[in-house]
Amino acid sequence: MATPVSVPTTPGEHRAIPPALLNVCFALAVINLSFFPTAYLAHWWITDSAGLGIPTDFVNVWAAGRLALDGHPAQAWDWNIQKQVEVALLGQDFTGYFAWHYPPPFLFIASLLAHFPYAVAFIGWALLSLVPYLAMMRAIVGRPFGLLLAVAVPMAFNNVLVGQNGFLTAALIGGTLYLMPVRPMLSGICLGLLSYKPQYGLLFPLVLIAASQWTVFFTAAVVTVVMAVASWLAFGTESWQAFFHWMPMFSQAFLTEGKAPWWKMQSLFALVRTFGGTEQLAWIFHWIFAGAVAVVLALMWRSRVRYAVKAAALATGTLLTTPYLFMYDMMVLAIPVAFLVRIGLSSGFLAWELPALACALAMIAGFILTGVPLGFGATLIVAGLVLRRASLWRRPEPAPSMVSAAT
């Protein structure tokens, strides 16, 4: 059996952060923090040397918000109209589409950002969504080191590069899990807000029922309904009709026809398609695997496994069960990594745990540098680490508290 490498400490004493972990995170954080100001000034990011906007994901957020502000929110889901607004904004045409496919509640954020010039909105969105993500990572790890870890993960680079919402998604999933034992209503609010990306909420109802977390369950349901009603009042029935009308077309384009190259997605489904498997074969593999993940999680959340391990398992499971998963969405992987680091700093890292985490993060960096779809393998490594912790600890862990997390 693998044993922790940290030296024993007296109860309540903090273990030292392993130097290798600290040094690697510091180096990666410096790279992430220094790249974007340099890239912006060198016209590699947001705008090019001619002053034209560089086509990337954030353009669909700003364009959808602009259509909503102009009184045409339902047109945000129309690929052709959306692209016309995007081309006019960027000042240049581009191949393909940056389609808007979010539920209507996310138009609240899009329309807010569209009040500002494109570059200001782009940078502001990255910084604004970074704040709750940093707060959750700090809380989960339980030390200021959580802030360094949050900035160091390679997924942060990809998320900021394209102006995506990975920070927000990770913050909401992290908030749901961190707050669940101590502030269940706030946990439910986080989960309800996550409904802007419903593919990440598939496992939560199952786990909440298995764990009898009824306050979280019903609070999330109420928040989801309130958001839907608020968006209906703000953007009209037509926006919901457009969302449901265009979703099958979006699914057809991205999960059947592969309009976004398969290597860009980091799920088992996409991996099968990347290596030439048929759509039917990919769905068979995906649903068998997703079903196994769901069963394991339900059993784990009914067991006496420590809470931090359960939380890490559920965060990892959200990535393993969705077929539609881009690298920026893998910001969520920072949450189980943070829980594993919390466990390691409190009770010692297993002898091979840090090298395995380094390997997982290196695979993500490898995707960013080479385009090889290594994200699914990285998620499997983290899942393996979580399962190993679950097998070692079959006794309950005290629920994380606001006080202990701040110390």
Over residues 252-275, the pLDDT tens digits come to 988 899 888 899 999 999 999 999
Spatial CB neighbours of 19, under 8 Å, sequence gap ≥ 6: none
Query: Helix, strand, or coil here: 181?
Result: coil
Residue 7 confidence (pLDDT) above 70: no
240 in Cβ contact with 334 (< 8 Å): no
Residue 11 is predicted with a pLDDT of 39
Q: How confident is the model at residue 407 (pLDDT cuts 50, 70, 90)?
A: very low
pTM value > 0.85: yes
pLDDT tens-digit readout, 312-336: 999 999 999 999 999 999 999 999 9
Distance between CA atoms of residues 290 and 303, nearest Å = 20
Q: Is 371 left (phi over 0), alpha (psi -120 to 50) or beta?
A: left
Give the containing element (helix H, strand E) for 194. none
CA distance 276 to 274: 6
**What separation in angstroms does the CA of 76 have from each of 54, 71, 79, 92, 116?**
20, 11, 8, 19, 18
Place of tokens 């669909």: 60
Report DSSP letters for 269-332, one per residue: HHHHHHTT--HHHHHHHHHHHHHHHHHHHHHHHTS---HHHHHHHHHHHHHHS-S--BGGGGGG
Asked if the model's pLDDT at residue 156 lies above 60, the reply is: yes
- Dist. CA 320–CA 203, nearest whole Å: 10
Looking at the domain assignment, is residue 80 inside a domain? yes
| Tokens found for residue 289 | 């695997």
Q: Is residue 240 part of a domain?
A: yes
Helices (H) and strands (E) in the chain, counts: 19, 0
Any domain includes 42: no
Instruction: Please check whether residue 406 lies inside any domain of the structure.
Output: no
Cβ 74 vs Cβ 242: under 8 Å: yes
Paired with 53 in beta bridges are: 47
- Across 49-60, average pLDDT: 96
C-alpha count within 13 angstroms, C-beta hemisphere, residue 199: 16
Going from the C-alpha of 361 to that of each of 25, 76, 204, 390, the distances in angstroms are 11, 35, 26, 21
Whether residue 397 has pLDDT greater than 80: no
pLDDT surpasses 50 at 354? yes
- Tens of pLDDT along 62-86? 999 999 999 999 999 999 999 999 9
CB atoms within 10 A of CB 186: 16
Domain holding 130, by residue range, is: 53-398
Neighbouring residues of 275: CB distance < 8 A, sequence distance ≥ 6: none
200-241 residue pLDDT tens:
988 999 999 999 999 999 999 999 999 999 999 999 999 999
φ, ψ (nearest 5 deg) of residue 53? -70, 140
Residue 294 domain-assigned? yes
* Mean pLDDT along residues 129-137: 98
Q: How many CA atoms lie within 13 A of 59 on its CB side?
A: 26
Contact 196, 103 (CB under 8 A): yes
Mean pLDDT of the chain: 92
Q: Three-class SS string for 254-268? A: HHHCCCCCHHHECCH
Confidence of residue 371 (pLDDT cuts 50, 70, 90): confident
In the predicted structure, residue 5 carries a pLDDT above the cut 60:
no
Given a cut of 80, whether residue 100 has pLDDT beyond it is yes
Rounded to an integer, what is the distance from CA 161 to the centroid of its chain? Answer: 15
Asked whether 327 and 158 are in contact (CB, 8 A), the reply is: yes
pLDDT the model gives residue 393? 57
DSSP 8-state class, residue 252: I
- How many domains does the chain fold into? 1
Least confident of 93-107, 147-161, 250-264, 345-359: 250-264
pLDDT, tens only, 10-29: 334 467 999 999 999 999 99
pLDDT of residue 368: 87
DSSP classification of residue 53: B
Domain-embedded: residue 196? yes
271-299 pLDDT, tens digit each: 999 999 999 999 999 999 999 999 999 99
Distance from C-alpha of 217 to C-alpha of 187, rounded to nearest angstrom: 9
Specify burial of residue 97 (Cβ count, 10 A radius: 0-12, 13-18, 19+). Answer: middle
120 CB-near residues (< 8 Å, 6+ apart): none
pLDDT computed for residue 394 by the predictor: 54
Q: What is the pLDDT of residue 14?
A: 63
